[in-house]
Homo-oligomer: A and B are copies of this chain.
Amino acid sequence: MARAGSKAFPVPEHDHAACIGDAMAMAEDLCRENGLRFTRLRRQVFELVWTSHAPLGAYDLLAMLNERGQRAAPMTIYRALDFLMAHGLVHRLNSRNAYIGCNHPGDGHAGQFLICRDCGRVAEIEERRIAEAVRDGASRAGFDVRLPVIEIEGQCFDCRGARHG
User: Known contacts A149-B150, A150-B149, A151-B149: does B137 contact A157 (CB below 8 Å)?
Assistant: no
Query: A129 is contacted by which of B116, B117, B136 (Cβ under 8 Å)?
Result: B136
Q: A143 near B138 (CB under 8 angstroms)?
A: no
Q: Which DSSP category, helix, strand, loop or mixed, fits chain A's interface?
A: mixed
A66 within 8 A of B: no
Q: B133, A156: Cβ atoms under 8 Å? A: no
Copies in the complex: 2
A152-B151 Cα distance, complex, nearest whole Å: 11
- The answer to whether B114 touches A6, judged by C-beta atoms less than 8 angstroms apart, is no
Task: Select A5's contact among B8, B134, B140, beta carbons within 8 Å.
Answer: B140
Cβ of A125 and Cβ of B137 under 8 Å apart?
yes
Known A6-B142, A154-B143; contact A130-B130, beta-carbon cutoff 8 A = yes
Interface residue? A144 (CB, 8 A): yes
